[in-house]
Amino acid sequence: MEAQDCQAAAMPEPPRPPARDCLAGWWDMVERNLRSFPHSCSTLGRKIAALYDSFTSKSLKEHVFPPLIDMLIYFNFFKAPFLVDLKKPELKIPHTVNFYLTVEPGVMLGIWHTVPSCRAEDAKGKDRGWYEAALRDGNPIIVYLHGSAEHRAASHRLRLVKVLSDGGFHVLSVDYRGFGDSTGKPTEEGLTVDAICVYEWTKTRSGITPVCLWGHSLGTGVATNAAKVLEEKGCPVDAIVLEAPFTNMWVASINYPLLKIYRNIPGFLRTLMDALRKDKIVFPNDENVKFLSSPLLILHGEDDRTVPLEYGKKLYEIAHKAYRNKERVKMVIFPPGFQHNLLCKSPTLLIAVRDFLSKQWS
């Protein structure tokens, strides 16, 4: 009975159209597609032609050189030291915590906060909240903006952080976008935004404790860019330390060790300048310092071959001439033996920094 009920309830099949009707419908569809085919081909052809024109309108060097210059300026793809867990700074340096700061959608910065060594015992077992609250303890704070290549766990950077921590400073070691485990792609504008974001984040949590921007090499350009923007906003930074600074990226690039050997190639310098202009890479320390009022300390080694001492001296002369209060600008030159990355080994570095900042902040 159930089977009979199901059969009775089933809907009758619709009548099938004659075969010639199906064939006619299929042929109509083919005709429509054939009629639209020339238009589709024409559209595709125009797109291919546009791409071809776009590519051939530039020389091969224009396609290759800007990305190559980006790699040489930032060198962020070289993420040494390798096999380091950046989430666990305590494996590399004591009384330090790792945290992340979101700058904008898609950009998150990795930062290590090292407290002064005098607070090492207090810091044991503490979480990020404790470290953040410690920024108000009255010990001065340094936002450290490193140079190109590697990341915040590089040995020479850790050595400097330890010296500063032993000297009573909080140190926030920042990996810009695209460096270390920070997300995003490095650009001059982006690195500047990163520095401003970290500085302002720190100032809102430090109370009356002073905060200093410390830039090394490439980081000097980031520091003065950020300081100029903050100056224009009416919030000059509490102090700036420039370690091994250049005047601007154009001058620094033509003396960059990896590029020096190509300077005599016809057209090389013009191509280099065009690439820097295209990617908007300037880092104009020599122009930025003309607009600053913050205490400015320049540190440079006599035997620095990466950024020769003459550039640091030139930058000091420009700043000293531009500053109304000449006592706010100082330069300290270190004897041979420390080259580009190891001023932290000088026994007089900490003395020079503390002496300058204490006078400015008194």
Residue 2 is predicted with a pLDDT of 42
Closest C-alpha among 309, 315, 283, 270 to residue 297: 315
Q: Say whether 113 is catalytic.
A: no
Q: What is the pLDDT of residues 238-288, one digit of tens each?
A: 999 999 999 999 888 877 666 666 667 777 667 777 777 777 899 999 999
Any idea what the Cα angle at residue 118 is, between residues 159 and 361, rounded to 5°? Answer: 85
Residue 277 is predicted with a pLDDT of 74
Q: Is the pLDDT of residue 86 over 80?
A: yes
- In whole angstroms, give the CA distance from residue 201 to residue 165: 20
- In whole angstroms, give the CA distance from residue 285 to residue 318: 10
Q: Computed from CA positions of residues 226, 101, 181, 212, in that sequence, does the dihedral angle turn out positive or negative?
A: positive
Q: Which of 175, 194, 238, 304 is flagged as catalytic? A: 304
Q: Is the pLDDT of residue 54 over 70?
A: no
| % of the chain residues with pLDDT over 70 | 79
Q: What is the DSSP string of 219-239?
A: HHHHHHHHHHHHHHTT---SE
pLDDT, averaged across the chain: 87
Q: Is the pLDDT of residue 322 over 90?
A: yes
CB 281 within 8 Å of CB 188: yes
Q: Is the pLDDT of residue 125 over 90?
A: yes
Average pLDDT over residues 58-78: 71
Average pLDDT over residues 87-111: 98
Q: Say whether 217 is catalytic.
A: yes
Any idea what the Cα angle at residue 94 is, between residues 198 and 173, rounded to 5°? Answer: 20
Ranges of each domain in the chain: 89-361
Average pLDDT over residues 44-68: 55
Residue 33 is predicted with a pLDDT of 59
Average pLDDT over residues 122-133: 97
Q: Is the pLDDT of residue 305 over 50?
A: yes
Residue 31 is predicted with a pLDDT of 62
Average pLDDT over residues 168-187: 98
Q: Say whether 304 is catalytic.
A: yes
What topology is assigned to 89-361 in CATH?
Rossmann fold (3.40.50)
Q: Which of 148, 165, 182, 217 is flagged as catalytic? A: 217
DSSP 181: T
Average pLDDT over residues 205-225: 97
HSE at residue 9, side-chain half, CA atoms within 13 A, is 6
313: its two tokens: 């001296």
Q: Is the pLDDT of residue 59 over 80?
A: no
Give how far the C-alpha of residue 118 lies from the chain's centroid of Cα atoms, to the nearest Å: 31
In the chain, the amino acid numbered 207 is G
Residue 35 is predicted with a pLDDT of 60
Q: Which of 95, 151, 300, 340 is flagged as catalytic? A: 340
Question: Which of 36-45, 52-61, 99-108, 266-275 ranks highest by mean pLDDT?
Answer: 99-108
